[in-house]
């Protein structure tokens, strides 16, 4: 009975927290005006050189962000000898404009392409800044459909890519090759990585959350584990810009792989012991991860592990059903 009461209390706290998260962006929403353009400081971003002519804009915010103009994800800039590729123009047009303004402080060369590493709103909501500059936006697979049908609550001005990547793509910026490669696991068939061979710099999108709990509601744990193993094997010496969190290298990829391995081991224990989902959800956050950001996502990680590993519901239709049942505030990150 005491156990039940504690569980009910936990549920009330969780539901209240989710309710607050859902309300927060609306309560503080303000339309960024031309008089108050975003700055790196106002967006909570720091500019970091990852390699010769390659930059990351690194977001430091926790989730949910305190205001809608703090960038949630990391952005990227790759400068070649005749043009520039930018990656993931953040979650709104003002932040997208900031990405292009930042390019202009680094080079006079024109931006030629914009890449969305996957469909989630925090990486694609800034696409209108690309569209207003008549730039081609590249994305993979079902990204148009996913953006149009799923991002409406978080992105009032959905602007999907009009160039669809299918298979391995290479862009050329003069002498510089930029490789775009497909990997599975985070976002239902829209994930790509971007790699610059001459500088050994890898931009993973959300296949890597570094020092943050990953968003997993439409991920596939087994596929994600396999992708991390492949990235570790394929890019063992690369400088790595994750989708969220500080710049890292193969150690960051190993750390997320370890986290997912631990989740799977836990979920297999639940299966062996006949643990109920309610019991599984009472798992305390492991001390090893106490300094990680995005702690609000941890209960969801447990739930996804229970669904996909304990119950074995990891087919695309089951994952889609699970995602659709999530509170709006927790759909797509």
Q: How many CA atoms lie within 13 A of 309 on its CB side?
A: 27
Q: Is 191 in the site for Zn ion (CB under 5 A)?
A: no
- Please select the residue that binds Zn ion; options are 88, 184, 206, 218, rule is CB under 5 A: 206
Q: Is 58 in the site for Zn ion (CB under 5 A)?
A: no
**Residues making up the chain, counted from first to last:** 333
The angle, 0 to 180 degrees and rounded to 10, between the axes of the packed helices 298-305 and 250-273 is: 60
The angle, 0 to 180 degrees and rounded to 10, between the axes of the packed helices 221-234 and 250-273 is: 150
Query: What span, in angstroms and rounded, lies between the C-alpha atoms of 325 and 327?
Result: 7
State which residue, 102 or 187, has the beta carbon closest to Zn ion. Answer: 187
Q: Is 73 in the site for Zn ion (CB under 5 A)?
A: yes
Q: Is 122 in the site for Zn ion (CB under 5 A)?
A: yes
Direct distance between the N- and C-terminal alpha carbons of the chain, in angstroms, rounded to an integer: 37
Q: Is 218 in the site for Zn ion (CB under 5 A)?
A: no
**How many CB atoms lie under 10 A from the CB of residue 325?**
9
Least CB distance to Zn ion at residue 22 (A): 18
Q: Is 93 in the site for Zn ion (CB under 5 A)?
A: no
Least CB distance to Zn ion at residue 36 (A): 25
Asked whether 209 and 298 are in contact (CB, 8 A), the reply is no
Q: Is 97 in the site for Zn ion (CB under 5 A)?
A: no
Least CB distance to Zn ion at residue 243 (A): 5
Query: What span, in angstroms and rounded, lies between the C-alpha atoms of 75 and 83?
Result: 17
State which residue, 10 or 142, has the beta carbon closest to Zn ion. Answer: 142
Stretch of residues binding Zn ion (CB under 5 A), selected from 72-80, 281-289, 302-310, 311-319:
72-80
User: Which residues form the interface with Zn ion (CB under 5 A)?
Assistant: 73, 120, 122, 206, 243, 333
């Amino acid at each position: 009975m005491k156990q039940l009461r504690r569980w009910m209390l936990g549920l009330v706290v969780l539901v209240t927290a989710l309710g607050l998260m859902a309300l927060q962006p609306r309560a503080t929403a303000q339309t960024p005006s031309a008089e108050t353009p975003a700055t790196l400081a106002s967006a909570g971003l720091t500019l970091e050189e990852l390699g010769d002519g390659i930059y990351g804009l690194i977001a430091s915010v926790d989730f949910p962000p305190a205001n809608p103009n703090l960038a949630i994800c990391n952005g990227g800039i790759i400068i070649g000898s005749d043009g520039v590729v930018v990656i993931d123009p953040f979650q709104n047009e003002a932040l997208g404009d900031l990405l292009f303004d930042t390019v202009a402080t680094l080079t006079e060369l024109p931006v030629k392409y914009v890449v969305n590493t996957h469909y989630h709103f925090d990486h694609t909501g800034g696409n209108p800044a690309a569209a207003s500059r008549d730039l081609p936006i590249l994305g993979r697979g079902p990204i148009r459909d996913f953006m149009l049908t799923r991002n409406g609550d978080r992105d009032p001005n959905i602007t999907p890519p009009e160039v669809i990547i299918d298979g391995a793509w290479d862009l050329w910026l003069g002498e510089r090759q930029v490789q775009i490669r497909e990997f599975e696991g985070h976002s239902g068939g829209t994930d790509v990585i971007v790699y610059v061979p001459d500088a050994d710099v890898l931009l993973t999108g959300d296949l890597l959350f570094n020092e943050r709990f990953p968003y997993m509601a439409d991920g596939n744990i087994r596929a994600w584990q396999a992708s991390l193993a492949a990235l570790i094997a394929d890019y063992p010496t690369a400088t790595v810009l994750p989708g969220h969190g500080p710049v890292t290298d193969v150690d960051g990829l190993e750390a997320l792989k370890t986290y997912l391995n631990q989740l799977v081991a836990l979920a297999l224990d639940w299966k062996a012991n006949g643990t109920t989902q309610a019991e599984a959800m009472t798992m305390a956050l492991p001390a090893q991860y106490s300094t990680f950001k995005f702690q609000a996502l941890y209960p969801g990680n447990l739930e996804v592990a229970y669904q996909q590993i304990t119950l074995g519901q990891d087919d695309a239709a089951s994952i889609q059903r699970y995602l659709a049942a999530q509170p709006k505030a927790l759909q797509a990150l």
